[in-house]
Amino acid sequence: MEAKILSGRDIASEIRLGLKNDVEKLKGNGVQPGLAVIIVGDEPASRIYVNNKKKACDEIGIRSFEYALPAETSEEEIIELIKTLNCDKNIHGILVQLPLPPHINDEKVLLTIDPDKDVDAFHPVNVGKIMIGNYRFLPCTPAGVIEMIHRTGIDLKGSECVVVGRSNIVGKPMAMLLLHEHATVTVCHSRTKDLKTVCKRADVLVVAVGKPKLIKADFIKPGAVVIDVGTNRMENGKLCGDVDFEEAKGVASYITPVPGGVGPMTIAMLMKNTVKAAEI
């Protein structure tokens, strides 16, 4: 039997509808959520992400403030801007679109964001909170993935979950969220020996690597839930995931497409965090 498609597009649209109502309520209390997005340079992929975030803000009723800075902007200038935004009462969330140009230290910049306005949840204070399970903001991509897994109805308690990728923004927080849901979690990376065998024991397989079609049908346990975070731009301009979708859908019970899977969920979760920041 073919896997059911977990449409991030549909789930995200439901979530945005709910958030629109929350924003109406906030507005009734005299608060309109505001999100500041800082983009440095003219990387085309970053521009697409920023435009999509702005579109989502407009739909929900969040005010978005874009700061598009030239690639040669200094680290000090970005830090000064963030300090100003930290004090601005109309701004509830601050997001710095990554990657930043090489002369800028990402870590230093992210450290400047007020943790209460850190809607990406990248600040070490928020990362620490995720670690101990007492969080205000969930990191957007892992939060979107968890939401999609819940929609399958699978009981995560005691289930075998394998996360491929250990980045600070996806793999590590993803593993932590699954652990908080009482799953047995294995994290794989570039040095993992026999990736196929490890993946094959997963009831839930989350892949966040950035290598097109790395995961083939024979990596997947029959009936597993497969979540593909990978977003790879192919030579023909099309997007492709880390999972070989055509092969995997013959083995998995649920699978996310690329595009239209995790991507829209990430943006919906960013909106959720911004509304939450305004509520706080």
Active-site residues, by number, are: 53, 97, 120
* Interatomic CA distance for residues 138 and 126, integer angstroms: 8
Please state, as a whole number, how many other Cβ atoms lie within 10 Å of the Cβ of residue 102: 7
The closest alpha carbon to 146, from 178, 186, 169, belongs to 178
Between 41 and 260, whose beta carbon lies closer to ligand NDP? 260
Ranges within 49-68 binding ligand NDP (CB under 6 A): none
Residue 236 backbone dihedrals phi, psi, to 5 degrees: -80, 5
Between 182 and 233, whose beta carbon lies closer to ligand NDP? 233
Q: According to the binding rule CB under 6 A, does residue 165 interact with ligand NDP? A: yes
CB of 46 to ligand NDP, least distance (A): 11
The number of residues making up the chain comes to 280
CB of 267 to ligand NDP, least distance (A): 8
- Whether 145 contacts 8, CB under 8 Å: no
Ranges within 221-260 binding ligand NDP (CB under 6 A): 229-232
Number of H helices, E strands in the chain: 10, 11
SS3 234: coil
Of 99-107, 126-134, 178-186, 206-214: span binding ligand NDP (CB under 6 A): 206-214
* Interatomic CA distance for residues 87 and 22, integer angstroms: 24
CB of 164 to ligand NDP, least distance (A): 5
Show the site string, 129-158: x = touches ligand NDP by CB under 6 A, - = not: ------------x-----------------
Angle at 229 between CA 227 and CA 231, to 5 degrees: 135
* Interatomic CA distance for residues 232 and 135, integer angstroms: 30
CB of 160 to ligand NDP, least distance (A): 17
Q: Which residue is nearest to ligand NDP (CB)?
A: 167
Helix (H) or strand (E) run with residue 94 in it: strand 93-96
Q: According to the binding rule CB under 6 A, does residue 89 interact with ligand NDP? A: no
Ranges within 170-199 binding ligand NDP (CB under 6 A): 170-171, 188-192, 195
The pair of structure tokens assigned to 147 is: 């939401």
Of 67-75, 79-87, 151-159, 168-176: span binding ligand NDP (CB under 6 A): 168-176
DSSP 8-state secondary structure symbol assigned to residue 218:
G
The closest alpha carbon to 273, from 144, 106, 128, 150, belongs to 144
Between 214 and 251, whose beta carbon lies closer to ligand NDP? 214
- Whether 19 contacts 60, CB under 8 Å: yes
Of 110-118, 127-135, 174-182, 202-210: span binding ligand NDP (CB under 6 A): 202-210
Among 4, 54, 63, 211, binds ligand NDP (CB under 6 A): 211
Q: Residue numbers of the site for ligand NDP (CB under 6 A)?
A: 141, 164-167, 169-171, 188-192, 195, 208-211, 214, 229-232, 262-263, 266
